[in-house]
Structure 1
Amino acid sequence: MKRAVKLGLLFAAAAVAGHVGLVMATPHLLMSVAMKRISQDGKLVNQFYFGPRTTQESRGIVRPSPDLAYSSCAFDLSGGPLLIEAAPSPNQGYVSISVFAANTDNIAVFDTTQSPQGVRFVLARDGQAVPQGERVVYSSSDKGIIIDRRLAPSAELFAAADQARRGDKCGRIG
């Protein structure tokens, strides 16, 4: 009887430890896969990738909205902070910039209702030197993803949003 209780307790402890480990590891594993895809296996790090217009077949990581033009930047802060800039879209089209840490936490969101002139900030880790006077977002991880979403519900508006987003920057300061 004592042996059965000990085995039961051991099994329960292993189940709890396995569950907690899975819950803790899953966001990092999912983000690692997403960063690998977005950076095209590490070829596009600290630079924006401008996605094509969304169709019914579009599905990189999740099914995107057909009304948006997407750009993404897989970032790596291990070499220092980055300057992130996103110009506004023409005709006051809505733009949203979201920053995600390596554990999938959304650490910052900016949009053109807050910043109609465009979005600009420095992305850094604690302890990294940042320029004076800049808006700074501190990341809890060296790596993560920045997503730029622009309202583009028609081919004409997609072309205008695409032209505007080509000026986006995700790169080293300097």
Structure 2
Amino acid sequence: MSDHDARALLVEALDFFNDHPCFSLRRDRRRTSYELAARIDAFLAPDKTVLPVVAAARKRWPDAHILRIDPDEQTVQRDGDGYWVRAWVRVDAAGLADVGAAPIDRYVRAVAALPEITRQVLLADFLGHEDFTTIAARLGITTTEVEQHIADALAAIAQALDQA
């Protein structure tokens, strides 16, 4: 179970305990849900400290109009010599309704127009057979550069798809 799913389960349990405040616990009928709810509440309380990797991601992409990292995000996942930071990707609503041949043609042209190294990184990532570290080693670049090439490619493709 992912950290996100575990937190969602704890929120649901806390909601249940708040709806049934005197709910007795199965193993010890003398105990009520108050103590357990307080522990869950304390665990779920937002941590005001910002993880350094989250702060770096926010600093790196403050003006990326297609990417947002929530202010309260505390979940990161280590991957090789990098980290995954949870974020939102913005999708233009008009682009969602436009699912015909034209967007596919724009997508193909956008990928073809990418710089060679960026296209190689993007396609290697899409194939899914290599992680960022392997892609970086094979192409003689850093994993940070791999991440940047993927971000650049996705931004270029998104921009091409948004154009009518």
Higher percent of residues as helix? 2
TM-score, normalized by the shorter chain, greater than 0.5:
no
Larger radius of gyration: 2
Higher percent of residues as strand? 1
Higher RCO (C-alpha under 8 Å, 6+ residues apart): 1
